[in-house]
Amino acid sequence: MDIDNNIKSTQTSYISPTRCPIFCVNYCVSNLYDAVQYVYTHLNDLSGQYICFSNVHTTVMAKENTEYCNILNAAALTYPDGAPVAKLQRKRKHPEAKRVAGPDFMDLMFKATADGTVKHYFYGSKLETLEALKRNLIKKYPNLNICGMYSPPFRPLSPEEDDEAISRINDSDADIIWIGLGAPKQEQWMNAHKGKFNGVMMGVGAGFDFHAGTIQRAPVWVQKIGLEWLYRLTRDPKRLFMRYLVTNTKFFWYLLTEHSKRATI
């Protein structure tokens, strides 16, 4: 199958994704291939908007924080980056639902745009990560059009610095602006900059590190059985133990509570 040409086909790309709410988040029902095809063929329509890839952690954050939930729902598209979220969609009469992981979305989009016709800008992460990312992408996709990269300081930008960053990105004529600031910062940043760019923003978090090779991703078989979070936990227990312990417990508790409420109606 010619993946690139099939993605560029507009045969089914006009179909807007079905939505399936999980807690308060209005998730798209899709799969990796259809998600990339839809976004690729709607880049002009998505200009100035943003796309989120949300997992169990951010879903729980959204349930507990109305403002953050509104930010996820203000996105043009919010895809389930977490396997449990997609599994829950399937249980709710959407058997076609699959996980759409941000790093996988990036890779397939790079393949679809490897001819250089779409311009990519990368905003976020450390300078050394961006440099490694660029080297790896050029090696893998020699004609990929990387029109700019920027590693912002680890502090809020001044209004003048923010205006300069906006101008720099727009001057690059970027079609896709990849945002790697981590959740919830990247979603808050995209929401605050909605309508300010000519391209579409996509918050992919650790996707920068995975493609740069600074963080090793879980083997494919681990991803397929929905245990990528456990693999990441074993690689970085100090930072992720409490996050996963608390978040995963809350997710299933909220799910049980929601199910109990439905059963009593």
pLDDT tens digits for range 76-86: 999 999 999 99
Look at residue 150 in the predicted model and tell me its pLDDT.
98
Q: Is residue 74 part of a domain?
A: yes
Q: What average pLDDT does the structure give for the chain?
A: 92
Instruction: Look up residue 19 and give its two tokens.
Output: 């939505």
Q: Is residue 234 part of a domain?
A: no
Look at residue 195 in the predicted model and tell me its pLDDT.
98
96: exposed, middle or buried (Cβ count in 10 Å: 0-12, 13-18, 19+): exposed
More confident residue, 235 or 59: 59
Q: Is residue 120 part of a domain?
A: yes
For the cut 60, the answer to whether the pLDDT of residue 193 exceeds it is yes
Q: Is residue 76 part of a domain?
A: yes
**Mean pLDDT within 141-163:** 97
For the cut 90, the answer to whether the pLDDT of residue 239 exceeds it is no
pTM: 0.91
Model confidence band, residue 260 (pLDDT cutoffs 50, 70, 90): low
Cα angle 42, 44, 47 (rounded to 5 degrees) comes to 110
Q: Is residue 252 part of a domain?
A: no
Q: How far is CA 202 from CA 20, 30, 36, in A?
A: 20, 16, 12
Q: Work out how many domains the chain is built from and give that number.
A: 1
Place of tokens 């960053």: 165
Q: Is residue 223 part of a domain?
A: no
For the cut 80, the answer to whether the pLDDT of residue 7 exceeds it is no
Output DSSP code: residue 117.
-
Look at residue 237 in the predicted model and tell me its pLDDT.
82
Lowest mean pLDDT among 4-13, 145-154, 195-204, 235-244: 4-13
Give the contacts of 215 (CB within 8 A, at least 6 positions apart).
Answer: 206, 209, 235
Q: What is the pLDDT of residues 17-65, one digit of tens each?
A: 999 999 999 999 999 999 999 999 999 999 999 999 999 999 999 999 9
For the cut 80, the answer to whether the pLDDT of residue 11 exceeds it is no
Q: Is residue 259 part of a domain?
A: no
Q: Is residue 217 part of a domain?
A: no
215: exposed, middle or buried (Cβ count in 10 Å: 0-12, 13-18, 19+): middle
Distance CA 3, CA 21 (A): 30
Model confidence band, residue 1 (pLDDT cutoffs 50, 70, 90): very low
Q: What is the pLDDT of residues 97-140, one digit of tens each?
A: 999 999 999 999 999 999 999 999 999 999 999 999 999 999 99
**Range(s) of the domain holding residue 154:** 3-212
Lowest mean pLDDT among 49-63, 96-110, 157-171, 239-253: 239-253
Find the largest Cα–Cα distance for the chain: 58
Look at residue 210 in the predicted model and tell me its pLDDT.
96
Q: How far is CA 11 from CA 31, 98, 124, in A?
A: 17, 21, 35
**Mean pLDDT within 258-264:** 66
